[in-house]
Structure formats: C-alpha cells, structure tokens
Chains A and B, each alone.
Chain A
Amino acid sequence: MSACIEIVGLGAPATVQDGGRPGVMHHGVPPGGAWVPELLIAANRAVGNAPGAAALEAFGRLELRARGRDVRVSVDGEAPSLLADGATRTVPAPTGHAVRYVAVDGALAVPEVLGGQGTLWVARLGGWEGRPLRTGDRLPLGPPGTAPSPADLSRLTEALDPAAPLRVLLGPDASSFSDAAVALLLGSTFTVSPSSDRVGQRLDGPPVPHGDEGGGTCRPMVRGAIQVTLSGTPIVMGPDHPTTGGYPLIAAVIRADWGRLGARRPGAPVRFQAVTLEVARDAWRNHPARPDRATSAPSRPILGA
C-alpha cells in the first residue's frame, strides 16, 4: 500500500493548502496560499519539504494516522516528531494563532490543479476532492525529502507578533474616503470578526464612512486589500478573495504582514499603521516568508493563456 495520512478526527474545518496558485487570477482564480504563510513554510522546512509544499491547514483539533510508512510530522515548524506506521497522533487545536499547519515529510501528494495543490472551496477544486477534509480521508504522501532545516522560530515570533500593528499602504481609492475616514481607520482598534474565512477577514469596530455606492463596476483586487462595505465594515481580502471587487479600497496590508493578520484569532485586536512603499519593501526583504531568492521569472505558463 502506498503511504498516506489518514484523517482520524477533526475538531474544526481543515483543508489542504500550499504556497498558492500564482498567475491564474486572470481566469478569475484567486491566488490561494496559506492563511499564515510563515507557519506553513516553517512546518515544511522542519520536515525537509519545499517551503510551499502541500500541508494541512487546521482551525481545530486534528487526529492523524500514518499508513504505509513511518512519517515525520512538524506542527508550525516545531522540531519534527516521528509517527510510526499505523500509529495515531492528536494535534491539539491552535491556541496561540488562529490556525495551525501540519506538514508531513514527503508532503501531501494531492493532484495539482491550475498550478497549485491548495483547496479552493469557492470553486470546489484543488486539495482533496476540492473540499474541507472529513474523517476517513486518506491523503497520499510523496517520497520523503532531503535533510530538514530547523526553522528560526524567533523570526516567526516577531513576524506574527499579536500586539504589533498591521502595516498598510493607503489607497488606491482614497478619493472615496474623507480624511476623517482614514484617520478613523488608522486611529481605531478593530477586532477580528468570527465570520471571517479564507475569502476575507471582517473587522468589527467603528464603521468607516465613505461616499461610494459600491456601484459594482469591477475593479482589481489583491490579498491584503481593505475594502469597505456599504455599511462601513472593513474586510481584509484573504487568500481566496474574489479576483475583482466593486467596493472602494481604503488601503492594503503590506505583503510582510499578511500572515500577521491571518494569525489573529476571532476577537483579537487589530490596529493599522500607514507606511511608505520603501518601508513595505524593506519589511518584505527581511521577512521569513519571502522566497530564498526572489525570482523575477514569470511563473510557469499555465493553460497557454
């Protein structure tokens, strides 16, 4: 029997996620990727996988059984533990962060769809049968990889600091908002709403006023963009965001802080801080989720379009 990981128990939704699906937004396909990329990368590195390899993204308790071989398991980049063939391990629900990543050496060998292996629930594709995992699912594993590299967990602590502000670049729809609205966004403390998901994190707090009807002409979107609904609720776009949107964008969370926001649990406080493009680029250059060598090569051509 080929090696697999069996889902024996689930306390909350869990899916297969990976480094994302770059280059297919023009098909209306969101970029995907881990909710907290830093933790996915750390977990993969700890078991010798590629940083963006497919792993489990779990919002609650997870019970796993190794089948077909002994496997090494890392949770959020902690030192890996051995799970013997046939043995079961319970990964407790996340306590520090909103979500937890469980990587297995060899990675989850689920089919690649549109250049990625992550679950895109909105389109019922990717991951395991395009859906959240269920008890009894058996996820095939790839061959065990190379030597693991211990994660520098201190860098993670700083990147995911629960008290740190989320850095944003203001705009691009600044003209839809008054100075007072921008001041309100930057001066208030919001909390992560329980009704957040991979599409977007809603923020509870004072409504942010704007004069835009959200008339619906579709405009470009990016992960981290903060759109403001008619009722004034800010929503920060998550990895599975709609690729276009009609509401005005007051600001966008910088690339280095996507995980910092994702890591916050419902009810956790959120403050925003405006920074310059230079600060944003600097933060990314020194960030643990940044690829080892930022490549300027276009992502592999997919679909010939």
Chain B
Amino acid sequence: MTRCLLNIDLGELPGEDEQLYALAHLANIACGGHAGDAASMRRALELCERHGTLAGAHPSYADREDFGRKALDVAPEVLRAQVAQQCGQLAALARERGVPVRHAKPHGALYHAANKSPALARAVVDGVVEALGTDVTLVGPGTGALRDAARAAGLGYAREGFADRGTLPDGSLIPRGQPGAVLTDVGQARENTVRLATGGAVDTLCVHGDTPGAVVLAREVRAMLDALEQPPEPLGDSALRLVLPETVDRGLAREALAALPGVRDAVITEAHACVYFDPETPPESPALVLARLRVAPVTHVEHPLIRIRVRYDGEDLAKVAEHAGLSVDEVVRRHTAREYRVRCVGFLPGFAYLGDVDPSIACPRLPVPRTRVPALAVGIAGQRTGVYPFASPGGWNLVGTALDFTAFDPQRGTQLQLGARVRFERVEE
C-alpha cells in the first residue's frame, strides 16, 4: 500500500489550533490570496518547522472578501502573476526561516476553475514554477487540466481526495452549501478515509482547517492513515502478522479478525495480531480491521473477574523478593493486590499472559529454563504473571501454586480468555 498523506489548509483563520500542524503531513499555507498575511504565514511556517510538517503554498484568486470561493473571470496572464506573487511571498518568508516549500495547491474556486481550463491550469503551474521552481509537487484533483499541466511542466502531482466532503453517486463532491457537502461526522470521515486511502486513486487526503470540529476529524483521519501504513508481515505463506495498536480491545480485535472471510484462526500476542489461512485464499486487508477498531468509539466490554487461590510456595519466591529488595510477604502482598488482565493466550493450551505486575516485583525470566515446571505453578516473567496449565519446560520465576484451578478444559478450551480479569488470593498453608 502506498503512503497516503494528510494535507490541511492552514494559516487561514485567527485562533487556528496548533494541533492541526502536528496532525498534517502537508500544510497548505494561505499566502494572501483568499486569506493570510505576513504574520500568519510566519506563524504557520514556524509551526510547520516545530512539528516537522511539510510547508506548501495555497494560492487563490485575489479575493479575500469571498474567501476565494467565488468563481471569477481572470485572464490567464493576470492569474499567473497573482499565483507567482502569492507563492513568492511565502517562499521569501520560508527562506528566512530555512523552511523548504515544495508543494502547492490552488484554493477554492481557482482549484475547480483551473482544473477545467487548460489555459488557467497552465497559468497556475507557471506561477508556481516562477516562485518555487520545478522541484515541486502540485496537489489537485485526480484527473483534469491541473494534472495535465503539472505533468507537462515536469512537476510532481499528488491526486487529492477529501476526507471531510460528501460525494455524489458519480464520485464528484457535493457542492458547498448543499446538504451533506461538509462532513462533520467522524464515522463518515473515517469511512471516507479508508475508502479513499486504499482505493489507489488518491495520494493525499484533505481535511479543511475551517470545518467545524477540524481537529477531531483530522486526528481520526491521521490515526487511520498511520494504521494503514503498517503493512502486515508474512509469517510463511499461511499467516500474516499485524502490529496491534495498544489502544484496541484485544478480544474485539481477535473476534473481528477471525470473522474475516478466509481466516481460519486469529491469535493475539503482546504487540501483534496474527491471522491464519490457506495459502490460496489470504484474507483481504486484515490491517483495515485493526485500523477501524483503533478509531471506533470505545466499546466497553464487560469481562468476568476470575479469582485464583494461590499457595505461595514457589521455588523462586525468595529470589524474586531479593531481586525486588522486598520481603517475601511484601512480594505476595503486591502480587495479590492487583487485578490483572489476560493480554494473550499462547505457548501452551490455556496459558494466559497476565499483566501488568507491580513494577517493583517484575523479574526477568530465568537465564536457563527449567526442563520441568509442575502443572499449576504460578510464575512471574518481566511484567507478566501466569499459571502453567500443564507440566512443561518453562523459564518463569515460580512464586506459588494455584489451587482448585483448571486452566484448560479439553471440551471448552482456555479458562482465561482475552480481556478476562484475574485476581490472585493468598491461601495460608
């Protein structure tokens, strides 16, 4: 999947939220045509520098009154000079700060008019080149006169989609002023993002800085794009490993992945999710599933609390206490003081990785694993704790023995499922 960048029109309004600069890959800075002056351009350039955002010019018809949104009849030669003057002013200020300006995007009515008229498109491109040179990328509609003119002049061209604009059935934008033209609903913007970023027809997505709730929208779109950028890694030819965002509910992630057509099983581990399938029928876009969950409204999943009684008689308990600089009783107190969550199930049938333990009693695993750990031994390794369901080799520090506990039932599977809450309770000898 090629990278899709977020561009935001900025430097247009007083009181603009600085976060927008952190969220944008590309900032289209108003340079005096429809909005913006030397002071706003300086601020925008400074914020681009601070957040590592790529600064670009956002030239427009010279029409501050209508914010550059009104169609005007401007001769190509006049337009060329206006675009060159606007871009040139930004470029001069950018040079003072040492910030490169490598892209340009026509604004508002000019964007649409120039894309329909080869003469106007050429005027825009010539003006941009005059001010910024040819090592520059023009941002514009997927097809049309702007793209043709940019290509003819040897410029880069980024096809743009709009995350915050509604589209008509034919794919064109709903004109501003009509119902549904500007999306403020996060869910719709999210769907737009996924559809556009994965459709292969756009290179960059726009969120308008002046849309109500722009920061919230931009954050969602950026989160989505970031997630889509993490390509799944093949684990052989019958599995794909995906990076699991920490914010996603682990149980929901597993269920959503397992429900994908072609997926035979899905496994969650500490920092990954993995889907398994027949090599001939790999699932489509499993990363999208996680991306969607990542920005989905938080669903509160009620998990049961499972209490496990433990006799603290493990061979490594004294060593763990020494490592922690605590008494054995204090280690036990801290081990039982917390409610743990099942973060992953794996290694052995029914073996649940529980976390996090109190950092003070975290303890690195044994340098050489034991060849045999008894069933129901309770161990600590790093920030994790867990119960061995079967006698097996193992490298965890053994602190106790679980009583009256069945970790794995051959009929029902693992007792401790993803997300389940677990508490250990001390049983005296």
Chain A residues in contact with chain B, CB under 8 A?
22-31, 113-114, 120, 122-125, 169, 171-172, 215-225, 242-245, 249, 252-255, 277, 280-281, 284-285, 290-291, 294-296, 298-299, 302-303, 305
- Can you name the residue of chain B whose Cβ is closest to the Cβ of A24? B413
A-B contact pairs, 30 of them (CB 8 A): A22-B265, A25-B267, A26-B258, A27-B345, A28-B345, A28-B351, A30-B349, A114-B413, A169-B237, A172-B233, A172-B235, A216-B382, A218-B270, A218-B353, A220-B235, A220-B239, A220-B272, A223-B236, A225-B235, A243-B267, A243-B347, A244-B267, A244-B346, A252-B235, A253-B236, A255-B236, A294-B278, A298-B261, A299-B265, A303-B411
* A28 engages B408 (CB within 8 Å): yes
* A23 engages B262 (CB within 8 Å): no
Interface size bracket, B side: 35 or more
Q: Which of A26, A31, A295 contacts B268 (CB 8 A)?
A: A26
- Can you name the residue of chain A whose Cβ is closest to the Cβ of B347? A242
Instruction: Select the residue from A22, A27, A224 with max chain B CB neighbours within 10 A.
Output: A27
Q: Which of A27, A125, A172, A244 contacts B234 (CB 8 A)?
A: A172
Chain B residues in contact with chain A, CB under 8 A?
233-239, 241, 254, 258-259, 261-274, 276, 278-281, 344-351, 353, 365, 381-382, 389-390, 392, 395, 408, 410-414, 417-418
Which residues of chain B come closer than 8 Å to A223, judged between CB atoms?
A: 236
Instruction: Beyond A122-B349, A291-B278, list 11 extra A-B contacts (CB 8 Å).
Output: A26-B266, A122-B390, A172-B234, A216-B381, A217-B270, A217-B271, A220-B239, A220-B241, A280-B237, A290-B280, A299-B264
Bound complex: CA of A284 vs CA of B281, how far in Å?
11
Bound complex: CA of A43 vs CA of B348, how far in Å?
30
Bound complex: CA of A219 vs CA of B272, how far in Å?
7
Instruction: Select the residue from A22, A24, A113, A220 with max chain B CB neighbours within 10 A.
Output: A220
Bound complex: CA of A1 vs CA of B289, how far in Å?
54
* B348 engages A122 (CB within 8 Å): yes
Q: Which of A26, A120, A255, A294 contacts B254 (CB 8 A)?
A: A26
Q: Do A29 and B264 form a contact, CB below 8 Å, given A220-B269, A255-B236, A296-B278?
A: no
By Cβ-Cβ distance, the 10 closest A-B pairs, closest first, are: A244-B346, A252-B236, A220-B274, A172-B233, A27-B413, A280-B237, A222-B239, A27-B414, A217-B270, A243-B346
* A222 engages B346 (CB within 8 Å): no
Bound complex: CA of A244 vs CA of B269, how far in Å?
7
CB distance from B369 to the nearest CB of A (A): 10
Which residues of chain A come closer than 8 Å to B276, judged between CB atoms?
A: 25, 31, 222
CB distance from A197 to the nearest CB of B (A): 12
* B235 engages A27 (CB within 8 Å): no
Which residues of chain A come closer than 8 Å to B261, judged between CB atoms?
A: 296, 298
CB distance from B233 to the nearest CB of A (A): 4
Bound complex: CA of A255 vs CA of B237, how far in Å?
6
* A26 engages B349 (CB within 8 Å): no
- Can you name the residue of chain A whose Cβ is closest to the Cβ of B381? A216
* A277 engages B346 (CB within 8 Å): no
CB distance from B375 to the nearest CB of A (A): 10
Which residues of chain A come closer than 8 Å to B278, judged between CB atoms?
A: 284, 291, 294-296
* B280 engages A23 (CB within 8 Å): no
* A25 engages B265 (CB within 8 Å): yes
* A29 engages B262 (CB within 8 Å): no
Bound complex: CA of A165 vs CA of B382, how far in Å?
39
* A220 engages B390 (CB within 8 Å): no
Instruction: Select the residue from B237, B268, B274, B410 with max chain A CB neighbours within 10 A.
Output: B237
Instruction: Select the residue from A221, A277, A290 with max chain B CB neighbours within 10 A.
Output: A221
Bound complex: CA of A249 vs CA of B233, how far in Å?
12
* B237 engages A24 (CB within 8 Å): no
Bound complex: CA of A286 vs CA of B273, how far in Å?
29
Q: Which of B266, B395, B408, B417 contacts A123 (CB 8 A)?
A: B408
* A26 engages B235 (CB within 8 Å): no
* B345 engages A294 (CB within 8 Å): no
Bound complex: CA of A215 vs CA of B271, how far in Å?
13
Which residues of chain A come closer than 8 Å to B262, judged between CB atoms?
A: 296
* A29 engages B269 (CB within 8 Å): no
Instruction: Select the residue from B235, B241, B350, B381 with max chain A CB neighbours within 10 A.
Output: B235
* A219 engages B269 (CB within 8 Å): yes
- Can you name the residue of chain A whose Cβ is closest to the Cβ of B238? A255
- Can you name the residue of chain A whose Cβ is closest to the Cβ of B234? A169
Which residues of chain A come closer than 8 Å to B347, judged between CB atoms?
A: 28, 218, 242-245
Bound complex: CA of A242 vs CA of B417, how far in Å?
17
Which residues of chain A come closer than 8 Å to B392, judged between CB atoms?
A: 122
* A254 engages B233 (CB within 8 Å): no
CB distance from A237 to the nearest CB of B (A): 10
Bound complex: CA of A221 vs CA of B353, how far in Å?
16
CB distance from B259 to the nearest CB of A (A): 8
Instruction: Select the residue from B234, B278, B346 with max chain A CB neighbours within 10 A.
Output: B346
CB distance from A1 to the nearest CB of B (A): 28
Q: Which of A123, A172, A225, A252 contacts B349 (CB 8 A)?
A: A123
Bound complex: CA of A221 vs CA of B365, how far in Å?
20
Which residues of chain A come closer than 8 Å to B236, judged between CB atoms?
A: 169, 222-225, 252-255, 280
* B413 engages A303 (CB within 8 Å): yes
